[in-house]
């Protein structure tokens, strides 16, 4: 795996992180995916407010997990252990002192390549296309 090749990312200028996050979720759901969980890693800021000393380099950090039951079942049917990569995720973060928000994801074709399976690669290619289009449609 080569990080620069296997992780896709896009950067967006926004004055409101939460609105960008909502727009991302809307784009995901528009393509018939279901957001299964959002991990709020930036809750660590609450520790700082409580007087606990933490060193962090970001204003916002969310992990947005999502899946489509058809795609998920196709991937898992191709190889039962491929479920370790499900659901797929976008990381959405904004560094300290930055106006830009980064959205990144592990390309499904990168993990599919580990399996050397045509059927897994076919489903991963479709999933990667959807994920790329979601980033393209963000419109920022």
User: pLDDT digit string (tens) for 59-104?
Assistant: 999 999 999 988 889 889 888 999 998 999 999 999 988 889 999 9
The fourth-level CATH superfamily of domain 3-134 is TT1751-like domain (3.30.310.70)
Report CA-CA distances (Å) from 94 to 4, 24, 37, 104, 116.
Answer: 19, 14, 19, 12, 35
- CB 72 within 8 Å of CB 86: yes
The average pLDDT across 9-15 equals 93
pLDDT confidence of residue 1: 45
pLDDT confidence of residue 45: 60
**CA-derived radius of gyration, the chain:** 16
16-43 burial, b at 16+ Cβ within 10 Å, e below that, comes to ebeebbebbbebbeeeebeeeeeeebbe
The average pLDDT across 22-46 equals 90
Helix 118-137 with 69-78: angle, nearest 10 deg = 150
- CB 63 within 8 Å of CB 91: yes
The average pLDDT across 119-124 equals 92
pLDDT higher at 56 or 48: 56
The average pLDDT across 33-52 equals 78
pLDDT higher at 22 or 57: 22
């Amino acid at each position: 795996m080569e990080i620069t090749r296997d992780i896709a990312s896009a950067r967006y200028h926004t004055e409101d992180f939460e609105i960008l996050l909502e727009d991302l979720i809307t784009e995901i759901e528009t393509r018939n995916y279901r957001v299964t969980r959002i991990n709020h890693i930036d809750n660590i800021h609450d520790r700082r407010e409580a007087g606990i000393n933490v060193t962090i380099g970001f204003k916002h950090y969310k992990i947005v997990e999502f899946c489509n039951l058809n795609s998920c079942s196709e991937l898992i049917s191709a190889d039962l252990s491929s479920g370790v990569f499900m659901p797929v995720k976008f990381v959405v973060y904004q560094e300290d002192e930055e106006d830009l928000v980064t959205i990144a994801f592990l390309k499904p074709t990168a993990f599919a390549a580990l399996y050397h399976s045509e059927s897994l690669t076919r489903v991963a290619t479709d999933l990667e296309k959807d994920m790329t289009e979601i980033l393209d449609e963000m419109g920022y």
